[in-house]
Amino acid sequence: MSDREIMEESLVALGDRYEGLAEELFATLIASRPQYAAAFINPEAARERMTGETLEAMVGLAASEWWVDGAVTSFVDLHRNYADFDAGDYEAWILMTIAAIERRAGSDWPAGASAAWARQADALNAIVARELAGHAARAARKRLAEPAGTTATD
């Protein structure tokens, strides 16, 4: 069975226990990183979107979907408008998401699902790290290109 198949099976096993997942995850995120609470203007919308995007990206990676890199680039870019999230923040969120769906599925969690999700989490974290490094490199080049005594807003 492929990672995609087993991951989809695990989401099916979750069933109605998905209800409230986004709210739980967001509360856990903010409890562990309270400095980001104010960054979310509409937490109800953000938590649903963040949860869905995270799960979809990992399943998409497992299926070798063409859109995943672009989607991850977009959400990393978008998140820069809210706060200075680092790779550790993304990794924590991704791991929280997997742990929560596994816990909620309980004994219905398929054999091999944890390993499949972990492999795709590693792949997703690598894309995020690449995007964050690219942003940092572009910012450094921009600073170097600025005349002395000026800033990007000058």
List pLDDT tens digits, range 5-28. 999 999 999 999 999 999 999 999
Higher pLDDT, 106 or 135: 106
Angle (CA) 147 153 154, round 5°: 50
At 42 the pLDDT is 87
At 59 the pLDDT is 98
Mean per-residue pLDDT, 37-49: 88
Q: Judge whether residue 122 has pLDDT over 50.
A: yes
CA 154 remoteness from chain centre: 34
Q: Does 154 reside within a domain?
A: no
At 40 the pLDDT is 85
Q: Does 113 reside within a domain?
A: yes
Question: Quick check: helix, strand or coil at residue 67?
Answer: coil
Q: Is the pTM of this model over 0.75?
A: yes
Place of tokens 């974290």: 125
pLDDT, tens digit, 9 for 90 and up, residues 47-87:
999 999 999 999 999 999 999 999 999 989 888 877 888 99
Which residues span the domain enclosing 9?
Answer: 3-145
Q: Does 121 reside within a domain?
A: yes
Q: Judge whether residue 154 has pLDDT over 50.
A: no
Q: Does 10 reside within a domain?
A: yes
At 150 the pLDDT is 63
Q: Does 72 reside within a domain?
A: yes
CATH code for position 123: 1.10.490.10
Q: Judge whether residue 1 has pLDDT over 80.
A: yes
Q: Does 101 reside within a domain?
A: yes
Q: Does 152 reside within a domain?
A: no
At 135 the pLDDT is 67
Instruction: Judge contact between 37 and 30, C-beta under 8 A.
Output: yes
Task: Quickly state the pLDDT bin for 136 (edges 50, 70, 90).
Answer: low
Question: For the chain, what is the domain count?
Answer: 1
Q: Which two tokens stand for residue 34?
A: 């309270």
At 25 the pLDDT is 95
Q: Does 151 reside within a domain?
A: no
CA distance linking residue 59 with residue 52, whole number of Å: 11
At 126 the pLDDT is 96
